[in-house]
Amino acid sequence: MMKRFLGLLVVAILAGVMTLGAYKLFIEPETVVIHESEAKTSTIPVNYASLNTTAGTTASAASIDFTIAAEKTVNAVVHVKQYGVTRAPRNLMEFFRNGGSQERRIQGAGSGVIITEDGYIVTNNHVIDGATDLEVTLNNNKSYKAKVVGTAPQSDIALIKIEADQKLSYIPFGDSNSAKIGEWVLAVGNPFNLTSTVTAGIISAKSRDLNEYDNNVQSFIQTDAAINPGNSGGALVNVKGELIGINTAITSQTGSYVGYAFAVPSNNAKKIIDDIIEFGDVQRGIIGITGGTINPKAVEEYDISTSQGVFVASVAEDSGAKKAGLKEGDVIKEIDGLPIRKFADLTGYVNSKRPNDVINVRVLRKNQELVLPVTLTKYEIQNYNLNDVGVEVVNPPKGYLKKFNLDHGVVISKALSSRMKRYNLEGLIISEIDGKKVKSVLEVKEIIESKYPNEDITISLIDRDGDKREFVFQ
């Protein structure tokens, strides 16, 4: 009897174990037990990609101290607000009654970077373009009125200044030529009016040209640090807290950041700022060639033994390139030791130089390498059509401005419209456009091309008696 009882007990236990196992296996939902200390972090392990160094050691994102760069820079990046006036009718009645003229105050906002303790600030030209008033707010919430010192619309750089009652925190310039692809960077700015925002990423590419078929070749630093509307004019800094770029643009179908952001290299921005402070305008040096990035067609047609570089299609007479001995068919491989893989590499470096600077150009000519010292010459355009005004302007002949007791201005060479031909304007001086003194045709071109469509143009004209008159053109 006892044996029979023990046998039934064993069978019952086995049945229970099997039932419990089946429940665990097929019915009971899976649970994950997390210790309290683990629940405060991530339940999934994160592996950081390492950056190999020449010493054979590794560095990860976790081992880089971003706080040092953030602390050095966050107080030197400001919020820039601009106020302007535009004309637009509020309704059809107003349009027909007043010709569409109705003044409204508009506001835009962006970022800026303090670069000196006495209040010089660099930003994007498009942040302050068209402003009648500028207001700068520091990270400590103090606000100041700002004035425009100078602009470079072609490079989208502007220099403004505030008069603060204290010495200001500022960001020192770094060497953007030394920045490397894969290097960690921080973007500091005011996206969506959220002041003092810091994001991290790496340099994704250099010498990036967003308008490949535009004559105005660009040379941006590309980064994947998050940049959004409001970041324009803010700082791109390395982990040392040095300024290596001015955040300028994003490419996006939504208008918000999707992984591609672009900054004007600091070397180019610094050169523009130095020019504005020293000369009042940008001094552009050129080599004196036309050409483009090497492509498979050029390699085949000219039997070139390299697949990277800038092909020289022509050399301008009386240029630094001509005097140095550059020839059609040469391939530029290096400038001052900097590799030149595409045309944007060349323009990016040359734009950081001034006229009369000497650069050492390494060229490949019929499979032979030569190093030629080239003296840069000043970029000038000789004439420009002010189509909205109806005249063509040229740079003044030597000594011409003295007849009008002027040290600036451009000369009207001919009238373009039948209406303007009635007024015998040839030889008169345009001294200012929109209140800005003009010293060359290039400055006229930059001012006009920076304006919005249908925006009024105010021309200051010096007549034959030396009197100044102002005219507004739509």
* Active-site amino acid positions: 126, 156, 232
User: Rounded to an integer, what distance in angstroms lies between the CA atom of residue 252 and that of residue 257?
Assistant: 6
User: Rounded to an integer, what distance in angstroms lies between the CA atom of residue 281 and that of residue 440?
Assistant: 10
Q: Where does residue 389 rank: exposed (0-12), middle (13-18), buried (19+ CB within 10 A)? A: buried
Q: How far is CA 328 from CA 286, 299, 321, 344, 364, in A?
A: 17, 14, 11, 19, 11
Residues 430 and 438: beta-carbon distance below 8 Å: yes
- Half-sphere exposure in the Cβ direction for 173 (13 Å, CA): 18
Q: Which amino acid is at 325?
A: G
Three-point CA angle 308, 52, 66, nearest 5°: 105
Q: Which amino acid is at 395?
A: N
Q: Which amino acid is at 440?
A: S
Q: Which of 191, 106, 112, 197 is nearest to 147 (CA)?
A: 112
Tokens of 104: 């409204």
Question: How long is the chain?
Answer: 474
Q: What is the largest CA-CA distance in the chain?
A: 138
